[in-house]
Structure formats: C-alpha cells, structure tokens
Structure 1
Amino acid sequence: MKRRQLLQASASLLGSLAAGGQWARAQTDPSPGGSLEFTPGSSAQGLQLTWLHHSCVLFEGEGKRFLVNPFRPAGCTAGYPPPRVAADLVLLSSRLLDEGALDVVPGNPKVLFQPGDYLIDGIRVQGVRMPRGPRFGLNVGWRWRMGGIDIVHLGGALQPIGREQSILLSRPDLLLVPVGGGPKNYDPKAAKAAIEALQPKLVIPTMYRTAAAEESQCELLPLEAFLRLFPPAVAQPALSNPLLLSAQALPRQGMAILYFEQ
C-alpha cells in the first residue's frame, strides 16, 4: 500500500460548522400517498453524491472529491465491488475493514481518522467522537460543507446522541445514518431516535442488509425494517446514482428520506 498522509487533530479547534445560508427548497407533501420531488442541480453549483454501498459514499463539489468509509468486500459487503475510486480526501469512521479499508483506495490521498477540527483545501471538516464500546472502539462522525450543502455522516454510530454530539452535529442539510443494527450500528429504532435528535432536512440510510451479504457473516437488518417506522410519503428511492443535489433538492419543511435500492 502506498504511503498516505495521515492528518492528526489540530491543537486549536476551528469551531463547529454552521449550517448557514438561505435556500429555496422543494416543498414536501406530507399527506398519505404523497410524493417527494428532488430537483437535480448543476454539478458546478451543487453536490454530486455517488453511493458505493454500505456506508461508503463519494462526495464531489467545489472541485474536490471526498470519499467516506471505503470497505473491503467481506461479510455484509461480500457481494459489493471494492470502491476503487480516486479522492482528494478519505474520511474513516474507524479502522475496521467495513469502513476503514485504505488498501482499496488508489493514489495517495489525505486521510482523516481521528476526532478533531481540520481545514482541508479551504473546506472545514469536523470529526466528532462517538464511542461504540470496548469491542469496536471509537466511531468518528464527520461534518463538512460542500456544494452549498451541510453534510453529516455518522459512520457506524451505536450510542444515543449525547449532548456533545447534539451540539456539534445537529440540524444538517444531509444526514447519513446507519440503520441495520447488529453489534456495532444503530438498529432502526435507534436510528430514528438519532434522526429526531439531530433534525436533518434530508436523510440517507446506510449499513443495512442486502443480497450482497454472506448469510452466515452478516447480522444487519434489511432497509425495510427502518422504512416501516416512517409514513410512506416521507421516503422515496434515489432516481440515479450518481445523484446531483442542490439547494432545490432539500425539503422546504419537515424531513425526507432518500434511499438507494440495491
């Protein structure tokens, strides 16, 4: 594996990210049987999101490419192709191989894997400590702003949202949250509680069971177990992958769920 630049937390904090900005957002119809409309934006002005399975996502905007949680295919990710995509920065929620496999990433990108506040090529990135217990150690939740969208990726969160996490991670535009349960991730009810605590505008669920999993080595629940906790009008599948998000792609009020069918 090529040498990579591992960045340690800065001694002085840069401060938590602010959501900021005034955006015109698509109206959400909360009535039974209603639908959500996500208007694609321009890649030059918005955020391009590529779902690479499990909790691995490539974010592109402002001329930058951020890759979160590359994995090695095994267990719950056995049937997925390894995410061999180039990136300027790799964010790891842990060093576990389903969310911290650097050996599948080409080139020599910068890498963040510890809590702290960072300034990366003009973009503030905040890593927030989220303990998972002695068996799986520390999880790092990530927050940054790209393409006009305030993003929070919770990685493999397990514990309820505490006061510190609430202060540092609340009210993002976009929240990526694990929903499949198992020994080291939120189960559907805990994921819903985290969503209610953080109050995002748009939610993308991660880390759920699909046909790609090895039967004997995956304890995750399917996505449907999470979606059943919400009214049908709240959720809809993504219509494309990659997906372009802009200011107009965010609900004007309330919360929406956008999921990738696998």
Structure 2
Amino acid sequence: MKSATIGGVKISWLGHSGFLLEGEGKRIYIDPFELAEEPEFDEKADILLITHEHFDHCSPDDIRKVRRSDSTTLIPEACSLNFKGDARRIAEGDVLAEGLEIKGTRIEVVPAYNPDKPYHPRGLGVGYIVELEGLRIYHAGDCDFFPEMEDLRADVVLLPIGGTYTMDEEEAARAVEVISPKVAIPMHYGKIEGTDGNPEKFKALVKEKNPDVEVIIFDP
C-alpha cells in the first residue's frame, strides 16, 4: 500500500519525503523526488510545496514532472532555485494571504530545523500544515524535534525518522506525543545514505505512549 484515505483526503507516499494530497478537488504535491513516471496532465499539481533546497526535496526534474503552467508553487525564502510562473517565496510563520487561502486551501508555514546539528539551520527550510476536508495535515520537512512542535496542531503528521540529518524514531515518537494527532506516517528513510530509520520501531514507540494514534506504514 502506498496510499490511504483519511477523512476524505487521499494521502499517497511518493517515496522518501514526497507526498501527494488529494481532497476538495485539488492535488497538492510536497517534495516530489525520483518519481517513477510523469503524472498525466490532469493528475499534476494544483499546488506544489517545497520544504527546502536540498537535492532530495527540491528536485528540478521531478518538479517539472508535476508542475502545470497554472500550478502554484511555494518555496522557502532561502531556496536559490528560480521558478517560472506562479511561485511564491515564504518564511516560517506565514499564514498566506488571499483570505488565508491558496486556491481555496489554507496552508500554514511552520519551522523546520535541527536545533543541535548543522544540516538544517533555522531559516533554511520550512514545514507545512495543509487543511483539506477539515483535516490538518502536517509535513515536517527535514528537522529534529524542536520546541515549537508543542504548539502545533494537526490531525495527520508526516514525520522523518531517518536519523543523521533528521529525527530518528525516538524523536519522531516524541513529536507524536506532543502534537497528539489521529494518524502518524513515517517518511525520509531507506532512500539515501544516512536515512536508516526503521518504521516498525517508530510504530512500536508511538504505541507505547499513544496507543490511540494510528500509525500507517506505506510499502517502499
């Protein structure tokens, strides 16, 4: 299984940290990377969210596969890649204008950083909270556990567990504990060197302290 429908939103794992969210008649891609094939035109992005400019999150080849001429792309201020068309540079803390909506979808921009590691300093990247079908879906980007997570609210969390560059299984389980979502989905493991997280370990750690949280592990 590489997709699940939660509260009317279809969440598909594209591999690594890439996801496709489908709800309210919209398709929202986040960090597509090494896509097996190019989607059909009507399956491409209404909205494309990029968390930061590292190659496994901001992949020009994969961005070209999913973007249409009318796709709205959100990129962090620190991202050096230039985009044609509707691309907006954003920073953590932004709740975007136009009635707090992008094409009818509310998106919050939240911090994503390593407090004690050099790989993702604060300001390099962001995370996103997307509201679809009444659900708040949090994509954490690349980060370790950071204090501001205690103020986040989300029904579904997409959390890195790879270790080295991001949270490992223990830190990600701690994030689940403080955010208290309904569903947790691990990501950013098993694709590149230094991302050796074990999703079953993450699931067991979550269930120890939060047995009511559903943990969904997609097949690689």
Instruction: Tell me by how many angstroms 1:83 deviates.
Output: 6.6
Give the gaps of 5 or more residues in structure 2.
77-91
Distance 1:229 1:135, change over 3 A: closer
Are 1:176 and 2:158 counterparts?
Answer: yes
Larger RCO, structure (CA 8 Å, separation 6 or more): 1
Any idea what SS the aligned residue of 1:90 has? strand
Instruction: Tell me by how many angstroms 1:153 deviates.
Output: 0.9
**Partner of residue 195, structure 1:** 176
Which one of the candidate residues 32, 51, 54 is aligned to 1:96? 54
Instruction: Tell me by how many angstroms 1:125 deviates.
Output: 0.5
Any idea what SS the aligned residue of 1:58 has? strand
Are 1:61 and 2:11 counterparts?
Answer: no
Instruction: Tell me by how many angstroms 1:223 deviates.
Output: 2.2
Deviations 1:35-80 (A, max 9, x none): xxxx967xxx811122111111101111111001112x4xxxxxx6
**Partner of residue 205, structure 2:** 229
Whether the 8 Å CA contact 1:130–1:165 is kept in 2: the answer is no
Instruction: Tell me by how many angstroms 1:111 deviates.
Output: 1.1
2:73 and 2:132 map into 1 onto residues whose CA distance is 17
Distance 1:204 1:135, change over 3 A: closer
Give the gaps of 5 or more residues in structure 1.
1-38, 74-79, 235-252
Are 1:166 and 2:147 counterparts?
Answer: no
Which amino acid in 1 is paired with 2:188? M
Q: TM-score, normalised by structure 2?
A: 0.73
Instruction: Tell me by how many angstroms 1:174 deviates.
Output: 0.7
Are 1:81 and 2:20 counterparts?
Answer: no
Moved over 6 A (4+): none
Which amino acid in 2 is paired with 1:197? V
**Partner of residue 130, structure 1:** 112
1:83 and 1:99 map into 2 onto residues whose CA distance is 17
Which amino acid in 2 is paired with 1:207? H
Are 1:259 and 2:217 counterparts?
Answer: yes
Any idea what SS the aligned residue of 1:208 has? coil
Deviations 1:127-147 (A, max 9, x none): 112223543342311112112
Q: TM-score, normalised by structure 1?
A: 0.63
2:215 and 2:203 map into 1 onto residues whose CA distance is 9
1:83 and 1:58 map into 2 onto residues whose CA distance is 13
RMSD of aligned Cα (Å): 2.6
Instruction: Tell me by how many angstroms 1:192 deviates.
Output: 0.9
Which one of the candidate residues 207, 211, 216 is aligned to 2:188? 207
2:166 and 2:44 map into 1 onto residues whose CA distance is 27
Identity within the alignment, %:
28
Q: How many residues align?
A: 185
Whether the 8 Å CA contact 2:113–2:146 is kept in 1: the answer is no
